[in-house]
Amino acid sequence: MLHLAQAAPSAPAQAQRSTAAAKPGTGSQQPTPAARTAPPAKGAKVEAAAAAKTNARVAAASQAQFPEDAGWMEPGDNADGSQQQQQQQQLQLPAGMSIPGAPPACTADVVRGMSWGVATAAYQIEGAYNVNKGPSIWDTFVDMPGKIKGGGTGKVAIEHYTRFPADYKLMQQMGVNVHRFSFSWPRIVAGGQGSAVNEAGIAFYHKLIDEMVANGITPVATMYHWDLPQVLQDRYGGWLNEQVVKDFAFYADTLFARFGSKIKYWVTINEPASICDHGYKNGIYAPGVKADRSSLYKCGHNVLLAHAAAVKVYRDKYRSQGAKIGFSTNLVWAEPLTDKPEDKQAAQNKLDREFGWIVDPLFTGRYPASMRGALGDELPKFTEEQKALLKGSIDFIGINIYTARWVWHNSDKPFGWRESSRKDGVPIGDQGGATWLYNAPFAMGNVLRYVGEKYNKAETWITEFGTGITGENTWTGSQVLNDSYRTNFYSGYINSACKSINTYKLNVPMIFAWSLWDNFEWAEGYEVRYGMVHVDFASQERKIKQSGYWWSKHFFTQGKKLAR
């Protein structure tokens, strides 16, 4: 998901720094860390205890790097059996909880014509970091002092690696029928070309996918959600070296060969701007590289070429599998501060830099003209062969949209804009659980309209949107389930989407919420929660929040079921 770092400047008249999008990360602004619910002083002890329990559940990881038995839990294998019994009961609304109505613009025809799902990422939920898996750059990064708020890590996370059967049973009871999950690259292949395929990791994901399908859930698979094998970072600098293109193609080939019969929807890479801005420029995400601006664009260039290489592998060797392949990127919507032409152009420049930078080459084979003009030779060039591979390399665009900023012209900035979360001292929306995240529902409808107009109504998915809530990680008792702010956030954004889809006849077949569960939120650790299901990080107990019941009633159970 997206994470921006510092609080946005308060007034356009003041000298302000540009706040680029980061998601749970993009942008030039640093993300505001989100961390675990356990108090920081106790976090290490809680995590250590949970890790011990996880290691007891999985098969003798210390005996071999990739033992044959992955040690997952079969249905009913919960430590005390209570959660499994609870999930076998009919889904019931907790006493005293009420569910708001559906967004008014979302007519029954619109809702039933779309699929409504949830999104997650491997490192944020799986845990079992050293079981049947090689090390990733995030395994290394979280051990660096001061990098993660509260000192949390994804080593245990929410133990989805061992708990997935019960997790999918709960999803089935909620009516979820589409799950965008991610493979962990180092759980499939510990390195690059020539590395041995990890058969235990392959077996784990087959069981996970089969469990999804058995519960009526269609898998949408993301190949890369930020967990690069550490060995590739050590060997040649990861995404800053063009060798990663060949290694990613090898990894993608492995996924197509081993899982292509079960996966009919692929996302190659999630949020290149977050990978590159935060991982290889300002160093606040793994692998923690701090470098000049040229590294940012070199990284983005290689990400695009890796995507194109993976799609070429698919179309050359596996086209008969009949899957769709897309790409997921994020942006902070740019709303012009005024109707002046220069402010409108400034907003367009921001969209070019943070969205067109990644998406334009997938349609035209070229970076946006405004970027080429501003950066000159600093922006890498595509060869004619690369342009041909990039152009038309997606079947759909995936968009992660969380918030918006006011944007105005400023000729002193390299791309000619400044931005702020405030206009005349008034926030662009209510602030969510992170300093960068404001509730700006118009952003969802506007970005869908923009993409439809610019890219000729190309098939567009919302692959992530959601919010944290200020102070949620301090809630106790029944309060932890009453996330009405999140429900209202979702309602406003979905209503905005439905308005644009209805008005402009857009091709938007899928919308995914971030996220199903509370989980590890990158640099924010566990201090911000985005889940519609509450997770007690000490006991790992799951309980559906109001927002989860709301989604279940109005969308999961009403939306279009996908053919698998």
94: tokens are 């907790």
DSSP 485-511: HHHHHHHHHHHHHHHHHHHHT----EE
- Helix (H) / strand (E) element for 117: namely strand 115-119
Catalytic residue among 464, 521, 524, 527: 464
The question of whether 271 is a catalytic residue gets the answer yes
**Segments of 124-281 assigned E as strands:** 178-182, 218-224, 265-270
DSSP 167-202: HHHHHHHHT--EEEEE--HHHHBSSSTTPPB-HHHH
As a dihedral over the C-alpha atoms of residue 399, residue 441, residue 547, residue 522, rounded to 10 degrees, the angle is 50
The question of whether 464 is a catalytic residue gets the answer yes
Q: Looking at beta carbons, which pairs linking 339-347 to residues 24 or more positions away fall under 8 Å?
A: 340/409, 342/408, 342/409, 343/407, 343/408, 343/409, 345/409, 345/416, 346/407, 346/408, 346/409, 346/410, 346/416, 346/417, 346/418, 347/407, 347/417
Catalytic residue among 271, 335, 472, 524: 271
Tell me which DSSP letter residue 516 carries.
S
100: tokens are 């708001």
First vs last C-alpha separation in the chain: 26
Q: How many other β-carbons are positioned within 10 Å of the β-carbon of residue 548? A: 29
Strand partners, 397: 327, 460
Name every residue whose Cβ is closer than 8 Å to that of residue 291 and which is 6 or more positions away in sequence: 240, 280, 281
Distances (CA, A) of 494 to 113, 427, 485, 559: 14, 21, 14, 13
Count of positions (residues) in the chain: 564
Strand partners, 269: 224
Distances (CA, A) of 355 to 21, 50, 364, 397: 10, 39, 14, 11
Identify the three-state secondary structure at position 438: strand
With CA atoms as reference, report the closest residue to 408 among 86, 50, 9, 6.
9
- Catalytic residue positions, numbered: 271, 464
